[in-house]
Copies of this chain bind each other. A is one copy, B any other.
Amino acid sequence: MALGPLELLTGVNGHARANVVDEKAIAATIAHRPAALDASKLKYTFADTLKPVPPPESLVFGQVMTDYMLVANFDPQNGWSAPEIKPYAPLTLDPTSSCFHYCTNVFEGMKAFLGPDGKARLFRPELNVARLARSAERTALPPFDEKAVLSLIKSLVKLESRWIPKPSGYSMYIRPTIIGTRPSIGVTASDSAMLFVVMTPTGPYFRTPTALSLLAVGESVRSWPGGTGGHKLGANYASGFLPQQMAAQQGYQQCLWLIGENVTEAGAMNFFVVLKRDDGDLDLVTPPLDGTILPGLTRDSCLSLAAAHPSKTTLHGLPNVRLHTHERPFTMRDLAAWCADGKLLEAFGAGTAVIIAPVGRIGYEGKDLVLPQHKGAYGPVTRALWERIVDIQQGRVEWEGWSALCE
C-alpha cells in the first residue's frame, strides 16, 4: 500500500501544535489572502469559427459539446485567477495532479431551457451552486464565491444560447466541475484547483415513454453513514459501474442501491413511491437525507410541489387527491408488502437529466417485483409532477422564482 509522505514529513515535528497559537502564521495569513473568484474579471477569448448546431432530433447526450467553456484556476499563492470563457479545448495537467490520484473532484448537473420569450433560463441554479460549494468543502477543495460562479455560468449560457434546442423536452445540459490540480503525489488535500464548465445540447431522456427496470443491489454499497453519498463527489460514482454492468447483463437498466435492506437511490436518481392510503389520499414517500442520499434538486421540487397540491396549486390530472409527503426509510420488504397489498401505485426516479422516470419492475433476490403498469408508462402522480416541473423549467408556468433568466 502506498501513501505520499509529504504531509507526514511536514507534520512530523508538529506534535505540540494543538492549542499553540502561532501569531506570526496568523498575521501572514491575514496579510496574504488569496484572491476571491471575481465574475467582474471575466475575460472572453472568441473562436475563429463556430461549429454547426446539430438538428435536435439527431442529438445524443454528451456527443457534441458547445463551442465555449468557462475556466478559472486557484492556486494558494494567487487565489482564483480571472475567469475566462474560451473555445472548448483539452485540459493540460501535470500527471501528479490530485484529480488523477486522490479524486478530489466534484461536479454539478444543470440544464438551460429556452422560454416562450426565447430567453435562456436555468432551473433553481442557486441550489446547484450551493451544493457545489458544500461538495468542495467536503473534499477540502478551495472555497469560492457562489454568486460569482452563478453569474459566470449565466454568462456562458447566454453566450451559447444558440445551442439550446427549441423543442419542448429539449435542453442544454451544463456540467460545472472542480478538480484538484495540486501537482504532487503527497497524500494531502489539493491546495490548487480548476473550475470548468462545459455544456452539451440534449434531447428528452426517453424517445418513447418507458418504465425503467431496476436491480436492487445490496452486495455493492454506493454510500454509507459517515460517507460522502450526501455530496456530489465524483468519487461516489466509480464504484457503481461494475454493479451497473452486472445489472445490465441480467437485463436491468439501472441499480437500485440498498444499504442493508434499506432503499437509497436508483441509478443516479432519487427514488420515490406513491402509496394508496386508507383515507383515499396518497402518500409520496422517499428516503430521508441522512447523509447517504444525494439532496437532489428534482427530489426537493417533487416534495415541494406535492406538498403545495391542491391547496396552493393544482397538479394536472389530480383534481381530487391530496398528496402526503414523507421522507422516511423503507426497505425492499416494505416494497414487496406494499406491492402484494395493492398499495404501491407508482414508483419513479427523479434527477436533473431524467427529470422524472417511471419504474416498472425491480429485481431482488432472484425475483421481479412487478409494479402496476400505466398507459404511456407514467402513472398519474409521476406524470403530474413531470409535467409541472417541465412547465416551470421551460418558463410556461411561474412558480416561486424557480426559473431563473440568464441576464
Q: Bound complex: CA of A101 vs CA of B268, how far in Å? A: 13
Q: Say whether A48 faces chain B, with CB atoms less than 8 Å apart.
A: no
Q: Bound complex: CA of A248 vs CA of B11, how far in Å? A: 8
With A99-B100, A175-B185, A253-B14 already in contact, the answer to whether A4 and B61 are too (CB < 8 A) is yes
| B-binding segment of A74-82, A158-166, A223-231, A272-280 | A223-231
Q: Say whether A213 faces chain B, with CB atoms less than 8 Å apart.
A: yes
Residue of A63, A96, A235, A244 contacting most chain B CB atoms (<10 Å): A235
Assess the B103–A237 pair: CB atoms within 8 A: yes
With A8-B267, A210-B12 already in contact, the answer to whether A352 and B1 are too (CB < 8 A) is yes
With A8-B267, A253-B11 already in contact, the answer to whether A234 and B103 are too (CB < 8 A) is yes
Assess the B95–A198 pair: CB atoms within 8 A: yes
Q: Say whether A241 faces chain B, with CB atoms less than 8 Å apart.
A: yes
Q: Bound complex: CA of A205 vs CA of B224, how far in Å? A: 33
- Which residue of the partner chain, among B6, B60, B241, B350, contacts A60 with CB atoms under 8 Å? B6
The 8 A CB mask of A176-219 against B (1 = contact, 0 = none) is 01010000111111100000101010100111101011000011
Q: Bound complex: CA of A177 vs CA of B103, how far in Å? A: 12
Assess the A207–B1 pair: CB atoms within 8 A: no
Q: Say whether A286 faces chain B, with CB atoms less than 8 Å apart.
A: no
The 8 A CB mask of A1-38 against B (1 = contact, 0 = none) is 11111111101111111110000000000000000000
Q: Say whether A299 faces chain B, with CB atoms less than 8 Å apart.
A: yes
Chain B residues within an 8 Å CB radius of A251: 14-19
Chain A, range 136-152, C-beta contacts under 8 Å to B:
137-140
Chain B nearest Cβ from A253, distance in angstroms: 5
Assess the A95–B11 pair: CB atoms within 8 A: no
Q: Residue on B with the closest CB to A361?
A: B15
Q: Residue on B with the closest CB to A209?
A: B12
Q: Bound complex: CA of A195 vs CA of B269, how far in Å? A: 31
Residue of A12, A93, A200, A295 contacting most chain B CB atoms (<10 Å): A12
Assess the A177–B1 pair: CB atoms within 8 A: no
Residue of A200, A202, A238 contacting most chain B CB atoms (<10 Å): A238
